[in-house]
Chains A and B, each alone.
Chain A
Amino acid sequence: MVIRKEKKSCGQVVEEWKEFVWNPRTHQFMGRTGTSWAFILLFYLVFYGFLTAMFTLTMWVMLQTVSDHTPKYQDRLATPGLMIRPKTENLDVIVNISDTESWDQHVQKLNKFLEPYNDSIQAQKNDVCRPGRYYEQPDNGVLNYPKRACQFNRTQLGDCSGIGDPTHYGYSTGQPCVFIKMNRVINFYAGANQSMNVTCAGKRDEDAENLGSFVMFPANGNIDLMYFPYYGKKFHVNYTQPLVAVKFLNVTPNVEVNVECRINAANIATDDERDKFAGRVAFKLRINKT
């Protein structure tokens, strides 16, 4: 097995490269002549043009298979998740009472978040619905008829509405409000025609002790059926997501408290092992007092 290896000097290598880049004898640039380059570029232009067209066509065909107002498959969203506001990093609600800046960002976020819930806006855009039953709006033959939404007034949030509130949702006094919301899922009849509510508790026993008492708005953490079903953002433009506000009144300061809120509804399981946010939400609460 013999290969005679000719060692090339450095200069030769450079020379070879030079010749590869531009070969003056054959007028080749990078191993191809001008015409050859033209040919190959033209070929790739046509070829890739064709592929782009093909891709576009198949994507277009694919997009024809889905409708504008409901997704084709919703099996992944059988159990809606819960989420809190303010949306904080790692869902840690940390409030340093003395340090205004630590909670001011939360307050800013909440102000912005609750703005659409202002009674005036709600009154202007949304209907007053009959509580306790679903607000169903069948198309009645008119394809994709725009849907109306029910009012959820900010004042319903009581002490947590933040209207004329000098305590800034309680953040300045160490009695913060956390808002619970349930993920929107199109055509989902939450509660299966029975009333449902959100409950919160400390995750472990010591958490429960440290958590202290809290109040919920609307009372009992109720979510009314009239906010369901959701018809999708395209046709249910002014849909207002129902909220439950929890105001923690006397959290033991300087301790991290694990809080878990879950929804009690007939058709929402809250015990999914893999999805920790299915029908529930866990967050940390810490009030730092000096």
Chain B
Amino acid sequence: MVGGFSILLWVGAILCWIAYGIEYSNDPSSSLDNVYLGAVLALVVVLTGIFAYYQEAKSTNIMASFSKMIPQQALVIRDAEKKTIPSEQLVVGDIVEIKGGDQIPADIRLLSSQGCKVDNSSLTGESEPQSRSCDFTHDNPLETKNIGFYSTTCLEGTATGMVINTGDRTVIGQIASLASGVGNEKTPIAIEIEHFVHIVAGVAVSLGIIFFIIAVSMKYPVLYSIIFLIGIIVANVPEGLLATVTVTLSLTAKRMAKKNCLVKNLEAVETLGSTSIICSDKTGTLTQNRMTVAHLWFDNQIFMADTSEDHSNQIFDQSSGTWASLSKILTLCNRAEFKPGQESLPIMKKTVVGDASETALLKFSEVILGNVMEIRKRNRKVAEIPFNSTNKFQLSIHETDDPNDRRFLMVMKGAPERILEKCSTIMINGQEQPLDESTAKAFHTAYMELGGLGERVLGFCHLYLPADEFPETYSFDIDTMNFPTSSLCFVGLLSMIDPPRSTVPDAVTKCRSAGIKVIMVTGDHPITAKAIARSVGIISANSETVEDIAKRLNIAVEQVNKWDAKAAVVTGMELKDMSPEQLDELLANHSEIVFARTSPQQKLIIVEGCQRLGAVVAVTGDGVNDSPALKKADIGIAMGIAGSDAAKNAADMVLLDDNFASIVTGVEEGRLIFDNLKKTIAYTLTKNIAELCPFLIYIIVGLPLPIGTITILFIDLGTDIIPSVALAYEKAESDIMNRKPRHKKKDRLVNKPLALYSYLHIGLMQSLGAFVVYFTVYTQAGFRPSTLIGLRLEWEKDDVNDLEDSYGQEWTRYQRQYLEWTGYTAFFVAIMVQQIADLIIRKTRRNSIFQQGLFRNKVIWVGIASQIIIALILSYGLGSITALNFTMLRAQYWFVAVPYAILIWVYDEMRKLFIRLYPGGWWDKNMYY
């Protein structure tokens, strides 16, 4: 991770050792500082690497827990014997048997099938169970009915098949290899870090070379000049930044995990923030992934049902007699049942045995009527015809719970037009009325309207069987149908939809204001897709598709100017015929796009199209087939609940709750982390100058060295670490969800104003402040600034033990050495004090600190406390350990730099003030980073 950075540190470490080698060859007794420095640099890289690895391993562990690593078994017929073998031992030509609940062990062609149904959703995205038979029905292997695919599940029935492909040659295997073939390339943040490393390295090398030339022309020996060169380059390396960035990213990853975004790859944290297009699935992500009753039609009226997650609030009129009948049909003509043992769970959370529609009806009636099972018990079922695709209806006959009524009740539900055919009367306000033209028309209007909303509509009817013809003892035979199935009484319609999650519309609005385009990609019917898109705001209320315009203006679709429509609904078939250019045009010119009836493979095409436009694309997916698209996307988001393992493996992030709104939270976090990383880097870069200047002055002016290498390390890896991490906890300055996504090329992490402001403004002030402290220490001990100039050579000679100071006193080498260390300590403390001011000003980039709140981010204060405590320990606790070059510093020297710290704060407040006063002005352009 953050590769360029580690390389920078490695280069630094190696340069250190080279410098020591040069020094050693000159003078075997030279100090080991450079060796330590190199070692520390190497250690930082290694430790950070381990930390990052540990972080990612942790998410990988969570990933691993998703996939149950049970070795798969296959029942195979070999040597005329049924054997169970591990499925990887299957070869082409093996005959395998499968039954309901099995995973298909390889791609097989069915030889026989008894009511076999498979779930191909992970492969095709189609969530309906597919029946399998031995008949060849289509040229396309994905469409034909006689092939079962590896890794799909057999839901019911049994089948025998011959293995035709195994392993990587299976359809799934090919997709998986396609996914691994899509290169895993650099994340935006990695690019930004690389750019930053380029800047730092550029500054380091050019400064180094400039001072090398200066040193040589000042008649320093070339070898020494090379050591200076290396020293300058190494001094520019921000040792602590790699660790800080890693910790910051993983803190955010943790925070996101709490909000149900599990980040697999640390760098992906930020990628989400720069996302400009989200290609989202519909089912499960935008919607709740369960059929829910949305509308009812009875008494010639459409009623709306509550479709929110908990269903609590059913407010339609329940007083009508028709509703009483309808509710009876709902409860009785339904085979779905709650699984036992869930009494304590809320109704909506209970698991149900039964298909999606029946489940919806069951829950709906349970909410309104109470204990459905009890009602069913009271109305004993005497006969039943289950739903099948030829009948398109379901029928059951019950005894009624009315002890005075000995008639049987026949209830029926099914496709509305089929139900209506069988009816001769209709119930209005609890009264049966003949079904005439006008009521039939009303029915049709309602049916069309509900269908137009993309909802699945069911019709309901009933009939009380006359007691004289059907006495209590009558035995119903469902094969001969010895009961009437026409001239029934139509009761009502009920429509269902997989409703949007209640948090999604808000999230979509947020995306829109954040300049993120949300594209829906679904396998569903265009009408349903469009309806959901409208209800969540992907197609906003006032925008129209070409079809809408055509309808409004009453002209043919072809006559409409395509670009008048903001929104577009494109089906997979249309997409197939599009050239890449046409797709680009479509993506560029419509702000609201829904792709319907698309296959998962087409998702890849859409993603590529978006990327051609220069967008950073986030893609959600759950099926195996989505994995190439997930890989291809800038950030692939897999669904934690519905997602297949392959999708989770290919993704960079896993949404634990499958909720689109969580993505938006992720985006917010991602943007925040980008801003905060900027602040962290600015904070860290600043003191680089204050650490570098002393060395430059030492070379040019010949002062005794103001700050030593080890002392610098204690700043970079000691006092500065916690504060820079603390900036990651900073709240957003302005509403970050109200600005456009970051432009990949223009909005850099480290831009020119940031570098200039850190280096040449704040950094320089810090250096001056630190030098004042340095001169104070030396002057008060006897060496005035004028004496110090050019003193370096004599100062460092071990055999000069009577060096004269400004007052004529004479100093031994050790006495000078001790003073030098006091100077280091003073310089260190000065930088620390000014870094406190730097930390405070970096809390915001535009707003005043007082707007942001000085105390809102408590961690900052922990950071400041840590700085002070570490410095106190180093100076007073370890003051006697000379190996670390710290001495006990007089109390007043701690405050000498305070005026400069205040100056830094005031200056930065001024900078921010002008930026706010003149947005877009000269100052803003040059000073806003």
Asked whether A76 and B815 contact (CB < 8 A) given A91-B799, A232-B807, the answer is yes
Task: State whether A62 touches B764 (Cβ < 8 A).
Answer: no
Taking CB atoms, residues of chain B closer than 8 Å to A239 are 808
Taking CB atoms, residues of chain B closer than 8 Å to A87 are 799-800
Task: State whether A77 touches B809 (Cβ < 8 A).
Answer: yes
Taking CB atoms, residues of chain A closer than 8 Å to B30 are none
Asked whether A3 and B186 contact (CB < 8 A) given A47-B761, A73-B781, A186-B807, the answer is yes
Task: State whether B802 touches A83 (Cβ < 8 A).
Answer: yes
Task: State whether A81 touches B781 (Cβ < 8 A).
Answer: no
| A184 beta carbon closer than 8 Å to chain B | yes
Asked whether A63 and B801 contact (CB < 8 A) given A1-B185, A2-B185, the answer is no
Residue of B nearest to A70 (CB): B807
| A74 beta carbon closer than 8 Å to chain B | yes
Q: How far is the CA of A69 from the CA of B191 in the complex (A)?
A: 60
Residue of A nearest to B781 (CB): A73
Asked whether A275 and B635 contact (CB < 8 A) given A1-B185, A2-B185, A3-B185, the answer is no
Q: Mark A36-51, 1 if CB is under 8 A from B, else 0.
A: 1001100110010001
Instruction: Looking at the assembled complex, report how far the CB atom of A279 sits from the nearest CB atom of chain B, in whole angstroms.
Output: 10
Q: How far is the CA of A193 from the CA of B779 in the complex (A)?
A: 31
Task: State whether B185 touches A77 (Cβ < 8 A).
Answer: no
Residue of A nearest to B807 (CB): A232
Task: State whether A1 touches B191 (Cβ < 8 A).
Answer: no
Asked whether A183 and B814 contact (CB < 8 A) given A1-B652, A39-B922, A76-B819, the answer is no
Taking CB atoms, residues of chain A closer than 8 Å to B799 are 87-91
Q: How far is the CA of A187 from the CA of B804 in the complex (A)?
A: 16
Taking CB atoms, residues of chain A closer than 8 Å to B922 are 36, 39
| A163 beta carbon closer than 8 Å to chain B | no
Q: How far is the CA of A74 from the CA of B808 in the complex (A)?
A: 13
Instruction: Choose the segment among B442-450, B535-543, B768-776 that binds chain A (4+ C-beta atoms closer than 8 Å).
Output: B768-776
Taking CB atoms, residues of chain A closer than 8 Å to B818 are 76
Taking CB atoms, residues of chain B closer than 8 Å to A262 are none
| A185 beta carbon closer than 8 Å to chain B | yes
Q: Mark B348-366, 1 if CB is under 8 A from A, else 0.
A: 0000000000000000000
| A233 beta carbon closer than 8 Å to chain B | yes
Q: How far is the CA of A278 from the CA of B801 in the complex (A)?
A: 9
Q: How far is the CA of A71 from the CA of B785 in the complex (A)?
A: 13
Instruction: Choose the segment among A53-61, A95-103, A135-143, A200-208 that binds chain B (4+ C-beta atoms closer than 8 Å).
Output: A53-61
| A281 beta carbon closer than 8 Å to chain B | yes
Asked whether A62 and B776 contact (CB < 8 A) given A1-B634, A69-B807, the answer is yes
| B591 beta carbon closer than 8 Å to chain A | no
Which parts of A157-185 form the interface with B (CB within 8 Å)? 181, 183-185
Task: State whether B776 touches A1 (Cβ < 8 A).
Answer: no
Residue of B nearest to A231 (CB): B808
| B141 beta carbon closer than 8 Å to chain A | no
Task: State whether A71 touches B814 (Cβ < 8 A).
Answer: no
Residue of A nearest to B184 (CB): A1
| A29 beta carbon closer than 8 Å to chain B | no
Taking CB atoms, residues of chain B closer than 8 Å to A40 are 926
Q: How far is the CA of A221 from the CA of B634 in the complex (A)?
A: 85
Task: State whether B779 touches A2 (Cβ < 8 A).
Answer: no
Residue of B nearest to A83 (CB): B802
Residue of B nearest to A85 (CB): B802
Interface centre among A44, A55, A80, A234 (most CB of B within 10 A): A55
Q: How far is the CA of A183 from the CA of B802 in the complex (A)?
A: 6
Task: State whether A183 touches B882 (Cβ < 8 A).
Answer: no
Residue of B nearest to A62 (CB): B776
Q: Mark B786-810, 1 if CB is under 8 A from A, else 0.
A: 0000000000001111101111111
| B187 beta carbon closer than 8 Å to chain A | yes
A interface, how many residues as a size bin?
35 or more
Asked whether A274 and B814 contact (CB < 8 A) given A62-B772, A91-B799, the answer is yes
Instruction: Looking at the assembled complex, report how far the CB atom of B850 sits from the nearest CB atom of chain A, in whole angstroms.
Output: 24
Instruction: Looking at the assembled complex, report how far the CB atom of B337 sits from the nearest CB atom of chain A, in whole angstroms.
Output: 47
Taking CB atoms, residues of chain A closer than 8 Å to B761 are 47
| A66 beta carbon closer than 8 Å to chain B | yes
Q: Out of A58, A69, A88, A281, which one reaches B801, CB within 8 Å?
A: A281
Taking CB atoms, residues of chain A closer than 8 Å to B819 are 76
Task: State whether A77 touches B811 (Cβ < 8 A).
Answer: yes
B interface, how many residues as a size bin?
35 or more
| B702 beta carbon closer than 8 Å to chain A | no
Task: State whether B768 touches A51 (Cβ < 8 A).
Answer: yes
Q: How far is the CA of A59 from the CA of B900 in the complex (A)?
A: 12
Q: Mark B802-843, 1 if CB is under 8 A from A, else 0.
A: 101111111111110011000000000000000000000000
Q: Out of A1, A71, A272, which one reaches B780, CB within 8 Å?
A: A71
Task: State whether A184 touches B185 (Cβ < 8 A).
Answer: no
| B899 beta carbon closer than 8 Å to chain A | yes
Taking CB atoms, residues of chain B closer than 8 Å to A234 are 807-808
Task: State whether B780 touches A72 (Cβ < 8 A).
Answer: yes
Residue of B nearest to A278 (CB): B812
Instruction: Looking at the assembled complex, report how far the CB atom of B759 sits from the nearest CB atom of chain A, in whole angstroms.
Output: 12
| B271 beta carbon closer than 8 Å to chain A | yes
| B336 beta carbon closer than 8 Å to chain A | no
Interface centre among A2, A59, A275 (most CB of B within 10 A): A2
Taking CB atoms, residues of chain A closer than 8 Å to B186 are 1, 3
Asked whether A2 and B810 contact (CB < 8 A) given A47-B761, A81-B801, A274-B882, the answer is no
Task: State whether B772 touches A58 (Cβ < 8 A).
Answer: yes
Taking CB atoms, residues of chain A closer than 8 Å to B811 are 76-77, 81, 183
| B157 beta carbon closer than 8 Å to chain A | no
Instruction: Looking at the assembled complex, report how far the CB atom of A187 sits from the nearest CB atom of chain B, in whole angstroms.
Output: 10
| B201 beta carbon closer than 8 Å to chain A | no
Task: State whether A183 touches B765 (Cβ < 8 A).
Answer: no
| B597 beta carbon closer than 8 Å to chain A | no
Which parts of B888-929 form the interface with A (CB within 8 Å)? 890, 896, 899-900, 903, 922, 926
Taking CB atoms, residues of chain A closer than 8 Å to B635 are 1
| B71 beta carbon closer than 8 Å to chain A | no
Task: State whether A71 touches B782 (Cβ < 8 A).
Answer: yes
Taking CB atoms, residues of chain A closer than 8 Å to B456 are none
| B183 beta carbon closer than 8 Å to chain A | yes
| A236 beta carbon closer than 8 Å to chain B | yes
Task: State whether B782 touches A277 (Cβ < 8 A).
Answer: no
| B109 beta carbon closer than 8 Å to chain A | no
Task: State whether B779 touches A63 (Cβ < 8 A).
Answer: yes
| A9 beta carbon closer than 8 Å to chain B | no
Task: State whether A230 touches B801 (Cβ < 8 A).
Answer: no
Instruction: Looking at the assembled complex, report how far the CB atom of A148 sits from the nearest CB atom of chain B, in whole angstroms.
Output: 15
Taking CB atoms, residues of chain A closer than 8 Å to B813 are 277
Taking CB atoms, residues of chain B closer than 8 Å to A1 are 184-187, 268, 271, 634-635, 652
Taking CB atoms, residues of chain A closer than 8 Å to B890 are 73
Q: How far is the CA of A54 from the CA of B901 in the complex (A)?
A: 13
Q: Out of B182, B764, B812, B903, which one reaches A277, CB within 8 Å?
A: B812
Residue of B nearest to A35 (CB): B922
Q: How far is the CA of A160 from the CA of B157 in the complex (A)?
A: 120
Which parts of A1-35 form the interface with B (CB within 8 Å)? 1-4
Interface centre among A4, A72, A81, A234 (most CB of B within 10 A): A81
Task: State whether B809 touches A183 (Cβ < 8 A).
Answer: yes
| B121 beta carbon closer than 8 Å to chain A | no
Task: State whether B808 touches A230 (Cβ < 8 A).
Answer: yes
Q: Out of A2, A55, A233, which one reaches B807, CB within 8 Å?
A: A233
Instruction: Looking at the assembled complex, report how far the CB atom of B764 sits from the nearest CB atom of chain A, in whole angstroms.
Output: 7
Which parts of A218-249 form the interface with B (CB within 8 Å)? 230, 232-234, 236, 239
Q: Out of A4, A81, A88, A186, which one reaches B802, CB within 8 Å?
A: A81
Instruction: Looking at the assembled complex, report how far the CB atom of B188 sits from the nearest CB atom of chain A, in whole angstroms.
Output: 8
| A124 beta carbon closer than 8 Å to chain B | no
Q: How far is the CA of A39 from the CA of B922 in the complex (A)?
A: 9
Q: How far is the CA of A274 from the CA of B812 in the complex (A)?
A: 11
Residue of A nearest to B882 (CB): A274
Q: How far is the CA of A258 from the CA of B809 in the complex (A)?
A: 27
| A133 beta carbon closer than 8 Å to chain B | no
Q: Sample 6 A-B pairs with CB under 8 A, ordered by A number.
A: A51-B768, A58-B772, A62-B776, A76-B781, A183-B810, A239-B808
Interface pairs A-B: 9 shortest CB-CB: A233-B808, A81-B812, A183-B810, A275-B814, A71-B782, A72-B780, A83-B802, A277-B812, A277-B801
